[in-house]
Amino acid sequence: MDAPHLIAYADRLGGSLQALTGLLRGPLDGVFGGVHVLPFFRPYDGADAGFDPEDHTEPDPRLGSWADVGELARTHTVMTDVIVNHMSVRAGAFQDVIARGDDSPYRGMFLTLGSVFPDGATEAELAAIYRPRPGLPFTTMILGGRPRLVWTTFTPEQVDLDVRDPGTWEYLTGIIDRLTGAGVTMLRLDAVGYVGKQAGTTCFMTDGTHAFIRRLRAYANEHGARVLLEMHGHYRQQLDLAPTVDLVYDFALPPLVLHALHARDARPLARWLAVRPPNLVTVLDTHDGIGIVDVGASALLPGEPGLLAPDQIHALVEAVHDASGGASRLATGTAAGNLDLYQVNCTFYDALGGDDRRYLLARLIQLFLPGIPQIYYVGLLAGRNDVELLRRTGVGRDVNRHHYAPGEAEQELGRPVVRAQLAAIRLRAHHPAFQGSFEHECSGTTIALRWRHGSTSAALHVDVGDLSHRLTWEAEGAVDGTDDVLTLADRGDRWRA
């Protein structure tokens, strides 16, 4: 089983690829077996924090080089993004299309309304298109002197790719060649659900999407890389998708854990644990917001209830807003730019009111579940909402994307809640029980998670009703445990690599 992974921007944690490597080999030695380095391509500081690359085949020289990526990969599993749905409007290929229109050799790489609806689209067809933001996914642009409706699923700064085009396939496989050549062995397909646009469908997770995923996964596997799919949607879509791919996210877990701790109700989490697939990457927080669509009903599957009922979702969102002192309300929905209707923008620590005990219990639940645990850098440091950054940029998700100045991260690592969390991550990374079999029992307000391997075991018992809990582990005939997760900070040294 994979050791826990860190999720981090190179520029916001350390300032460069070399500095990030130094953190992982220095203060974080023995904590993480891998790292998801969020986009470090040129430019890393564009309109969408690197997810709108102008050149996806080269690191931004301000952050480092391919040699730096290779050096990091020498000691840690490295995952990076393959941004399959779009590229920057400023990318050279699209700029050529702007200048030359249909005469550009790159014209077929980019989608317009006519690419999918050559005979025009009806009102019903346009209304059926699934998009994570309000309005239609088109931006009027002048291509070769002609106004065209260019497909822009996310923002006008990100133009969508036509994955049916041979030029797009060459572009994407060239990225994979570059990444795997530098030692990257895990690839995250960003926004992959939107790539298979087809007339007469929602243009989300279509037959064309599945065909593309199979093709790209085969290519990546041939080059020594596993593929992780990033897709927000109804939880049954994750269940259907999981058997066909290497890895999928457990995006249902964060809101279900928050519901359990805020509503003092573990029953929805129990329903999910009974059906969740085995090939998951578990998260509580990421560079995006806390997903709500992943536990609710969805227009994509009419009539299928979610893991939480509408009134439970409403109560959860309001509980997070209250716990964060209203900061999450400033960063979510119509209150902030880069609009995400299906996410609440908030650090996970603030989503639990900055309560150390509840936060550590949430992290332990994640760490005790099967899958590859990934811990976001702000969550690792129990970070608070960066309202000042939100005010400067107007981008809702920036509230959870703090820039840690040189030395700031090392200082935060000394906080008791962070030290306790590091000890919990080391326990997951190094205790032999987590290489064995898993079992769970959940009902009402109680959660019991247990691992066994040979003569070793590790168990977590939590009652979300009163936050009573017990964490125990056994190795080499000795039983140890704690009645208060905060005391984990005093036990972490024994789980250093």
Q: Which residues are catalytic?
A: 190, 230
Token code pair at residue 458 = 């590790």
CB 341 within 8 A of CB 134: yes
CB 379 within 8 A of CB 8: no
Q: Quick count: other Cβ atoms within 10 Å of Cβ 182? A: 19
Token code pair at residue 74 = 């020498």
Q: Return d(Cα 265, Cα 280) in angstroms, integer.
A: 23
CB 161 within 8 A of CB 87: yes
Q: Three-state DSSP class for 149?
A: strand
Q: Return d(Cα 397, Cα 287) in angstroms, integer.
A: 7
42-47 contacts, C-beta under 8 A, 24 or more apart: 44/9, 44/10, 44/11, 45/11, 46/88, 46/90, 46/157, 47/88, 47/155, 47/157, 47/158
CB 145 within 8 A of CB 101: yes
Residues sharing a CB contact under 8 Å with residue 334, sequence separation 6 or more, in sequence order: none
Q: Return d(Cα 424, Cα 495) in angstroms, integer.
A: 9
Q: Three-state DSSP class for 345?
A: coil
Q: Return d(Cα 110, Cα 88) in angstroms, integer.
A: 11
Residues sharing a CB contact under 8 Å with residue 7, sequence separation 6 or more, in sequence order: 35, 36, 38, 283, 286, 287, 374, 375, 376, 377
Q: Return d(Cα 345, Cα 364) in angstroms, integer.
A: 22
